Amino acid sequence: MRCPIPVRNERRVLCIFPAYAHSFGTFSHAYPLMWRVRAFMPPQGLLVIAAYLPERWSIRFVDENLRPTTEADFAWGDVVLVSGMHVQAPQIRDITRRARAAGKTTVLGGPSVSAAPEMYPDVDYLHMGEIGDATDELIACLDRSIARPDAQMRFATKERLPLYDFPIPAYDLLPLGRYLLGSLQFSSGCPYRCEFCDIPALYGRQPRLKSPPQLIAELESIVAQRAHPGLVYFVDDNFIGNRKAAREILPHLVAWQKKNDYPLRFACEATLNLAKQTEILALMREAQFQTVFVGIETPEADALKAMRKEQNATLPMMEAIATLNSYGLEVTSGIILGLDTDTADTEARLKQFIDRSNIPVLTINLLQALPKTPLWERLARDGRIVEDASLESNVRFLRPYDEVVEMWRRCIAYAYDPERLFARLAYQVDATYANRIEAPVRGRLKAANLRQGATLAVNLLLRVGWWSDYRRAFWSAARRALQRGQIDAALSMGFVAHHLIQFAREAIRGEQNASFYSMRTRDEAVLQPTHMRRRMEPATLVDARDQTR
């Protein structure tokens, strides 16, 4: 649905999504291997806001991960609408500065301002919370006047719009083929209360849901574009936050895939206890879910208990990972270092976990305290929140800072040593990829997909298989996949590994932040669209997070 508020005036709204800094999770080193890919994932939340705005208002959408906002863009707009996360705060402020220099009224929403509005004193209008009554009040205000207010005005949502009333994201405002992944949202909220996570405070513990027809309509909107990503990521905070709902939606996805000859593959985020849900896993396999991001955080049971993540310890961790693999799901793992429970043995235990689990992709981050989390409140009480942009974390660790950072670098170096990385990828060939249902290729036989595949194959052969110093490790793993007829897997191995190895080498040299959430300032770290070197939020005035932790 669109905003129900009747408006009298026409407005031109310029929606701008800020660029991300370089990070492990955006896979920016892999973009040059692909045809025209320039960014990680469409900003789901801001696209929904664009679709919700009054129909008579004109919308222009700029994702600065694709291109910078021009003077002509600012001149066109009456109002500049921005959304983003804490990690994008410097870019949000820069967009605000440019908009104000152009004499434009500025509006900011999203997870960062919702959790910490005091970070943005120079924005004219702040929208805090999800789409709802505050959104309608803001629209009514802008309809009355687009003049900048004398003082900052704030709108806080009290009644949220139900997810089943959300409009289809305005995918048509962006070229989806320029993104590595597509994005889709089925639910919002998570029932768990992990100490470091801001999801319960921002979006609630009772997952809210879209209807099956909504989800199918959004899929149809994605594949309607001539070029679109072949893998769509469910940006839900926890895909099985409501297990009954997950079981009920999956048959609709299966039916849609069959009807359309399987044009897409899916990925999602879930807790490790997904391994207990064999009925859901079987349906996910049939629907072509191929990757699941799991916030494992640490292999140490005491640490899991301390961070209130006992759900990861409800069954043996290695057994759970093996179960997910047996349904064709490759596990991607979030890992946190710098916990209060870390000891001198933490590094060795993590390295052992990497080897035993055979998880190829591990997002190893230093602990960050986000506003509106129990972690922030505890550390603030203890005087352990550090406001120093030169540091890798805003947490005063119990262990020496330099020691923690060096441990992170050693773990990154260990995990993404080319021989070890390709060995873990080779393991997936039989343990995971062989367990996937082989879907018809007809649904993916589009000119854009064929061009993308050919471009990737040629670039991999040259840049990874011929020029790189890790070509032998690549061919050793790729050969195993090719011998089993897994051509897509062989391409994926090279694609993923190339980024991880390049990022790891930069991290070891001190050129990358030690956490996706870090706001450490590095002039060279911002993704510049001219050379193009992210948990997505519910669609409110909210955007990416996600997926890129």
Predicted confidence (pLDDT) per residue in 259-312, tens digit: 999 999 999 999 999 999 999 999 999 999 999 999 999 999 999 999 999 888
**Cα–Cα separations (whole angstroms), residue 187 to 47, 210, 237, 458, 545:** 16, 6, 8, 39, 15
* Number of other CB atoms surrounding residue 72 within 10 Å: 7
pLDDT tens digits, residue range 104-155?
Answer: 999 999 999 999 999 999 999 999 999 999 999 999 999 999 999 999 999 9
The confidence band for 521, taking pLDDT boundaries of 50, 70 and 90, is low
The confidence band for 425, taking pLDDT boundaries of 50, 70 and 90, is very high
Please give the structure tokens belonging to residue 173: 């405002």
Q: What is the average pLDDT score of the chain?
A: 92
Residue 512's pLDDT is what?
80
Residue 543's pLDDT is what?
37
Residue 548's pLDDT is what?
34
Residue 511's pLDDT is what?
86
Residue 204's pLDDT is what?
85
Cα 340 to chain centroid, rounded: 26
> Are 297 and 307 in contact, with CB atoms under 8 Å apart?
yes
Please state, in angstroms and rounded to a whole number, the distance separating the CA atoms of residues 185 and 199: 15
What pTM does this model have? 0.92
- 456 pLDDT higher than 50: yes
Contacts of 118 (CB under 8 A, 6+ apart): none
Residue 519's pLDDT is what?
54
Residue 525's pLDDT is what?
42
Residue 391's pLDDT is what?
93
Residue 198's pLDDT is what?
86
Residue 89's pLDDT is what?
94
Domains belonging to the chain, first-starting first, are 12-156 (3.40.50), 177-433 (3.20.20.70), 440-508 (no CATH)
Residue 216's pLDDT is what?
98
Residue 473's pLDDT is what?
98
- 227 pLDDT higher than 80: yes
- In this prediction, what percent of the chain has a pLDDT beyond 90? 84
Summarize the confidence of residues 68-84 as an average pLDDT: 98
Q: Which of 512, 523, 531, 519 is nearest to 363 (CA)?
A: 512
Summarize the confidence of residues 422-447 as an average pLDDT: 95
> Are 267 and 291 in contact, with CB atoms under 8 Å apart?
yes
Residue 200's pLDDT is what?
85
